[in-house]
Copies of this chain bind each other. A is one copy, B any other.
C-alpha cells in the first residue's frame, strides 16, 4: 500500500493543530509525506499545499480520501466534523489517526465503533498523545511490571496558564480532563465506573460564572480511586503531574524538569507555557508510531473503544458538574472485537 516514498497522508483540518501535524509529517516523522490537505477554507488549504511537493488541496474530505496518492488519514478538523470523516475513511479501509475527542458525544462514538466492527479490523487510532510521553510511558511500564503492587489511588494535576475566550465548565471536562480520563483507563487498565465533581470557590482570574478549578473523582471497575485537579486559569504555566499510590510504593511524574537556575535569592526552573511545549515530543512519537504501525499494516494505540469510553466518562462528568453528586458511567458492553 505504501510506496517507497513513504506513506501518503491526507490531513483533514488545517487549523493550528492540523498545520502542526502537516509540519510534523513533512519535517519530523520518518516514512511519511503529506499528499493531501483538506479544509473548507479553500485558500488556507491551497496555501498550505503549495508549499509541499506533491501535495493537493481539497475542500471535501471524501475527494481527498478517494485520491490515489492517499494511503492514510490524519483528522484534525473540529470535533463535530470527525464522524463523517471517520465513516468515510473506514468505508475506504484507510488507516486513521483521529485527534481527540474522537466525536462530540457517545451516540456518534457508537456509530464509529459499529462502522469499524463492520469493517472487521481496527483502522482508527485516537489522538490521546499522553501515552507517548516518555514519563507516562515509564509510569505505565512501572505499573505493569507489578514492582509496586496494585494501584490503589491516582492523583492527577492538570493546570493551564489560562483558557481561550468562550471556554466553558463543560469543556474543562470534555476538552481537558478527557486526557486524564484516557490516562487513568490506560495506566490502570480498567474502566471508570463513576464520576463525582467537586467545585471550590473559583479563582477570580476565571471568567465570571466559570467554576475553575475543580476536583474530579473517578471510581474504577476494581475499586481504585482517582482524583484530578483541573485548573484552567492557574496563571503561571502549563503543569501536568500524576502520582500513583500502590500497595508497595508511590510513583510521581511531571516534576520539575530542565536546567536549575540559582539567581536573585531563588533556585528553580522554567515551567512550560503550554501543552505544545510540554508534549511536543509526545506528539512526535505518537505520529511516528502511527506511521510505523500503518506501514507494517497494523493499527495500534488508543482505539475507537478508548474514544467511546472517554466520551461516556466525560458525559457523566458533565452531568455531575451540573447536578452535583456522584454519577455512574453508562457504557455499552465492550465488544470482544476491542479486547
- Which residues of A are at the interface with B, using a C-beta cutoff of 8 A? 4-6, 26-31, 53-54, 134-135, 138-139, 142, 147-150, 152-153, 155, 159, 198-205, 213, 215, 217, 219, 222-225, 227, 229, 231, 234-237, 239, 245, 247-253, 255-271, 273, 281, 288, 292
Contact = CB atoms under 8 A, between A and B. Distances in A.
A263 B148 CA distance: 8
Q: How many copies does the complex hold?
A: 4
A261 B273 contact: no
Nearest to A268: B268
6 nearest CB pairs, A to B: A268-B268, A249-B263, A201-B223, A200-B225, A251-B261, A252-B260
Contact of A142 (B150, B231, B259, B268): B259
Contacts of A262: 236-237, 239, 249-252, 271
27 contacts: A26-B30, A27-B31, A134-B258, A139-B259, A152-B200, A153-B200, A155-B155, A199-B225, A200-B223, A227-B227, A229-B245, A234-B245, A236-B262, A236-B264, A237-B262, A249-B264, A250-B262, A250-B263, A251-B260, A252-B260, A253-B259, A262-B271, A265-B271, A266-B268, A267-B268, A267-B269, A268-B269
Contacts of A147: 263
Contact of A235 (B201, B249, B259): B249
**Residue from the set A135, A159, A200 with the largest chain B CB neighbour count within 10 Å:** A200
A257 B257 contact: yes
Nearest to A220: B200
Nearest to A159: B250
Contacts of A28: 30, 288
A261 B265 CA distance: 13
